[in-house]
Amino acid sequence: MIVLSKLMKMNCKIKLSRLERACIRFSSKSRCRAFLIVMIAGIIPISLGGLVYSTQAATQKKILVVVSIAPQKYFVQKIAGNRVNTIVMVKAGANPATYEPKPKQLAGVTRSEIYFAIGVPFEAVWLKRMAAVNPKLVVVQSDAGIEKKAMEKYSHSREAMDPHVWLAPIHVKKLSENMLNAFIRLDPASGAWYRANYNRFLLEIDALDAELKEMLSIKKNRKTFMVFHPSWGYFAESYGLKQVPVEIEGKTPKAKELNRLIRYAREKKIESIFVQPQFSKRGAKIIADAIGGRVLIADPLAEQWADNLRRVAQQLKTALR
């Protein structure tokens, strides 16, 4: 009776007032009471059902996921939606080659269930440490199965494998497939739901890829662009372009190398130098000033992955006209 009273006050007030008015049409009090009882019997299950659903939604446990870089968060959300909370290790503006996680981030790792690695340099040291503080943490190499290439170099650069696979839509398909399989292993009961999300995301990737191909279908011979850090190799390869890096062994080049780059830029009629927020703009600005060009920002770590690729493609289209 207490539950009935509360429901009548909280959820059924308006409905009951309408029902009471309906009773006027009945000729006797007994028939009116019978009518109200029947209607209330139908209202109570609906109200209780709504309360139960709200309670379940509020208490449903979310999967706590850790990723190395912000674009991975975008991919995770496309597949797992609001069933996950995601911790991003490398914060905006930070360099994934030298990044050290903050204590608050490491505390989050101790509660997490999955870590999606992607092959960026800081993982070589920190993945083992994170696994040590959380032995139950499942580490998934989301870049598994992707053939990587050596980092492009201009001169005397140490050869290292290029981790920037997330900048090519074709490779994001494989990254997402690896994430999908990990979620299904962890939560098999929701496997069909994850797979449906994944299939929708594949269609979005294909549409984006077609859009970028159309945007970058440059007929002229000007298909070479200059970047400070060679992050855009997989992207360039996907769309018939070529990147030329400014840095040498991760450092701003000295005067002799800068002069060589300036001559190269003039020869190729390069007018824009692309830099990313995580690195110094000094070397790029020296070259841009010497060739009468400009410095443009192209961030490989932006969270809004699809919009970011569109933005960079538009900048390249303009720069290569």
Residue 281 confidence (pLDDT): 79
Residue 183 has pLDDT above 60, yes or no: yes
Mean predicted confidence (pLDDT) in 170-183? 98
pLDDT of residue 321: 81
Average model confidence (pLDDT) for the chain? 82
Percent over 70 (pLDDT), the chain: 78
Place of tokens 């000729």: 27
Q: Which DSSP helix (H) or strand (E) runs through 57?
A: helix 29-59
Query: How many whole angstroms separate alpha carbon 200 and alpha carbon 197?
Result: 5
Task: State the pLDDT at residue 33.
Answer: 46
Q: How far apart are CA 140 and CA 144, in angstroms?
A: 9
Q: The tokens of 238 are what?
A: 């996907």
Could you report the per-residue pLDDT of 187-235, keeping only the tens digit for each?
999 999 999 999 999 999 999 999 999 999 976 678 899 999 899 999 9
Task: Output the pLDDT for position 60.
Answer: 61
Distance CA 276, CA 299 (A): 5
* Residue 31: both structure tokens together: 């028939």
Checking if the pLDDT of 164 tops 60, the result is yes
In terms of Cα–Cα distance, which of 119, 298, 151, 179 is closest to 237? Answer: 151
- Positive or negative, the CA dihedral 251, 69, 160, 228 is negative
User: How far apart (Å, rounded) are the C-alpha atoms in residues 206 and 214?
Assistant: 12
Q: What average pLDDT does the segment 126-146 reach?
A: 95
User: What fold is seen in the domain 215-319?
Assistant: Rossmann fold (3.40.50)
Q: Please give the pLDDT value at position 234.
A: 97
Work out the average pLDDT over 141-167.
81
pLDDT at 243: 93
* Coil, helix or strand at residue 191: helix
Sheet with 138-141, side-by-side order of all strands:
84-88, 63-67, 114-117, 138-141
- pLDDT digit string (tens) for 34-85? 433 334 444 334 344 444 433 443 446 899 999 999 999 999 999 999 999 9
Residue 207: which residues within 8 A CB-CB, separation 6 or more? Answer: none
Domain with CATH 3.40.50.1980 in the chain: 63-213, 215-319
**Of 257 and 22, more confident:** 257
DSSP-assigned letters across all residues of 158-186: PP-B---GGGSHHHHHHHHHHHHHHHHHH
The CATH code for residues 63-213 is 3.40.50.1980
Output the pTM of the full model.
0.79
pLDDT of 239-281, one tens digit each? 999 999 988 777 788 888 889 999 999 998 898 999 988 877 7
pLDDT at 282: 80
